Amino acid sequence: MNSSDEISDHDEASRNKPEASSSGILDEKSGAANKEDVMKRAAAKKLIERYFYQLTDGCGNPSCDNKFCASSGELKPLTPDEAAAQAIQLFSQEAKLCERHPNKIARKQDSIVNDKKSDGSPDICLSNSALPTNDIVVSNTDQNSRNSPKFNYAPVPTYLTEQSLYDIIDDCEANDSYSPLIRTLGEIFSSIENLSRSFLQNEANTPTEVTSTIENTGGIKSLNKEAVRSMEGEKDKDEDSCVEGSGNSVLPVDLPSVRRAFVALFKLKTSIFENALVNALVTLAGNLQMELPMRKERDSQDDIVNVLLIVFEIPALGSGDFLETALPAICRAAQWLPVEVQAKLARLWSSGVGRSSIRNILENLQQLITLRVIVTPFHRDFFVQDENVITSATKLMKILYYSNMLAGVLESPELRSEDMSGSTDSSYLASKVKSTPPPEPLAEELGIHVLDCRKPFLPFTEFYNELLSDTVEMDRDFANYKSELGKFSFMHYPFILTPATKTMGLYFDNRIRMYSERRISILQAVTGLPSQPYLRLKVRRDHIIDDALVELEMISMENPNDLKKQLVVEFEGEQGIDEGGVSKEFFQLVIEEIFNPDYAMFTVQPETQTVWFNPTSFESDAQFTLIGIVLGLAIYNNVILSVNFPMVLYRKLMGKRGSFEDLQDWNPVLYNSLKQLLEYSEPDVEEVFMQTFRISYQDVFGATINYDLKDKGDKIAVTQENKYEFVDFYANFLLNKSVEKQFHAFHKGFQMVVDESPLDLLFRPEEIELLICGSKNFDFDELENSTEYDGGYTSDTPIIKDFWSIVHALSIEDKRRLLQFTTGSDRVPIGGLSRLKLVIAKNGPDSDRLPTAHTCFNVLLLPEYSSKEKLKDRLVKAINYSKGFGML
């Protein structure tokens, strides 16, 4: 007796003892057998169904050589009953099964199945997704009837399936009339109800005749175990793909079926059905826009989700009339979606099956926004924020933005719980409530934050729209952001703006705060109080750290709000008015001193040349606070710094604790070693790695310090069972615990300056690095193209041509020096060198003077030298001996 016979006998015994089953008196072995029985029955039904459709419809391959397939031409037409009986027989014989070609299936038993709605009215759907029964209304098997002028097309279905769409296309092609297709698309795609019922996942796919026959004949006895495992594995895989990354939300719509159906549809000439489909979508959008504000019930919301899932699978949505008419209408309607529906869409698009749509939908929305920016005549009374299509498409893109994160690699939200309250001497921060924007409703509904996303499904940069970013007037957008009238602002949708454009929004916020502090100071002067409209620092070059530390510490203790005033720096014993250039030099000198190895405040990672807090530093908290203040002041005063922190620092500044993955750019060698430990699958971890929960590191004097990650860590060996715990503890110690005191002081100083800034709203950690350090792209062609000329020079002046010829031939280091000389900083601003707006002005005729520069205004004063050689000599000398000289 084989295993299937045993299962059948057991099943028969169960039927003869209803009292035992009803009372639940089944031992564990019997319960397992019942479960296996159910699984095998389901698999058998699925397999027999495939045999049935192979016999009736064929596989679609015109050169098929399987004699049990309708596409081979060797099989005579079978009635449904004959096909069902033979399917069971083929199943028992484990006969050959063809691969299906759904877009080319030769249909021989197409039919219209007449079902009934709950109210008793007929519900006609052109489909053969269910096995034909005796309720056939019209048969299409007779080819002569197809060609007859008296042929009557079926009534328009009330919903679509993949198969029914194939059938309609076949009928239209056979009769050379596409009216049924046009009518069907118009009826289905214009109706929320009809479209929401289309292409649904259907668990009950097994024909009733086949099901009953299996039950009555015991055909499951012949089920092959390997086939069962194979089919059940495929089923599990499909289910997992629907759930993965979607918050356990199973797709209600069969997206693969939708995609195949649309592929078949768009193989036709689009001119046949485009107008009908576009008009239907416009009508659908109008219905959505009217009904969305009134839909509260969950079922109604599910209908909307189904509709949008199907609509955004249309391949041509980003071109032609779809792009110009249909997609704008859908976007306008979608802006009324409740947060719950937005969240459900985000989860479904991030699922295993849905995520492949993210790129196409994003590209379609980007094309729509770009098109509208190009064709819309914006003016002083009509800004880009007033264009409803652009704003509604941006709102829809936000759903996709969060879906893109859900579909990527996420870390635990618990890593966001960075508590800064433990920072030393944090009375200022404790006394102030940080001015944070209200949480994004969709992010809150999804329980996700951009900091949680270690790696998005698509790079975040693909969400930037450069043309839109260049068109947005950030002064107007910032005014909308601050307005309490609910006006649209792109600052609430920063993912679509380039970092350079967002920097302008931050600049306006900082300048308004500076002017506000200046007005307050003037009012104080009127009342007789001492007035100080600027943050003035007077420092000595040779004692710059000591002087800056003392002054900034006094200010932070007495009146921290003074840090939000415009910075004005004066070097003692030097003439010059600070219009920005002197401040840039001040920051550069402070940074050079702070990272001097003699101070031992930071250590340098040899592999990456990044700097990190020295966990054994003897410097006071005040000095780390000073560095945080300097970093905040640089952002606040729009100055780029020459610092080289690892990315984990910017994540920590945004409120995310360091984790194992942060070690990859912090210390690649250590990261790879720990990764090898995690990937090692053999049981002899203890013998191979010989690692305990005690680690070692060195202090500033090179002495070795031991640290136990757990109590008595030297007694606890790292094993297969605890290796993940070890890695987490190790990374947490290196990136968080060991530098907790230093980082808290640093963070305190940083927050003193930026605590009221929309920095967290606008920028991701990698964009914060760009904001502080500038771009790494030294494109001097870009600088040449953006440079302006004054005093008689033009781009065609011979000395200007010689100047650029010399500059392009300089080494990278000399190019940095040139930037330092002309702008006060050797860093490329965020957005590239074109953002510098360099001006080269004529400074008299030929002479022996060196070139000079107004770093505050990025102006290079260049005498008209008599030869290219003299120009090169004077320029190289100027840029190599410029510190403290030649810059005004």
Active centre residues (catalytic): 856
**Structure-token match 């032609």, residue found:** 320
For 110, how many CA atoms within 13 A lie in the half-sphere containing its CB?
22
Smallest CA-to-CA distance from 260 within 347, 364, 345, 169 is with 169
Q: What gap in Å lies between CA 561 and CA 146, rounded to an integer?
A: 85
Q: What gap in Å lies between CA 670 and CA 673, rounded to an integer?
A: 5
Pairing of strands 839-842, 788-790: parallel
Q: In this structure, what is the dihedral angle of CA atoms 233, 238, 239, 240, given to the nearest 10 degrees?
A: 90
Residue 98 is given by DSSP the state P
Q: What gap in Å lies between CA 192 and CA 202, rounded to an integer?
A: 19
Smallest CA-to-CA distance from 535 within 550, 516, 519, 551 is with 551
Helix (H, G, I), strand (E, B) or coil at 854: strand
Q: What gap in Å lies between CA 292 and CA 392, rounded to an integer?
A: 15
Q: What gap in Å lies between CA 411 and CA 660, rounded to an integer?
A: 11
Helix (H, G, I), strand (E, B) or coil at 834: helix
CB of 364 closer than 8 Å to CB of 318: yes
CB of 91 closer than 8 Å to CB of 68: no
Neighbours of 63 (CB within 10 A): 6
DSSP string, 681-716: -SS-HHHHH--BSEEEEE-TTS-EEEEESSTTGGG-
What angle (nearest 5°) sits at the alpha carbon of residue 153, between those of residues 151 and 155? 150
Which residue type does 278 have? V
Q: What gap in Å lies between CA 11 and CA 34, rounded to an integer?
A: 8
DSSP string, 248-311: S---SB-HHHHHHHHHHHTTS-HHHHHHHHHHHHHHHHHHHHHHGGG--SHHHHHHHHHHHHHH
Smallest CA-to-CA distance from 669 within 605, 573, 580 is with 605
Alpha-carbon distance values, 4 to 33, 47, 223, 225 (Å): 11, 16, 7, 9
> In whole angstroms, how large is the CA radius of gyration of the chain?
36
Which residue type does 510 have? N
Which residue type does 735 have? L
Smallest CA-to-CA distance from 148 within 166, 181, 174 is with 174
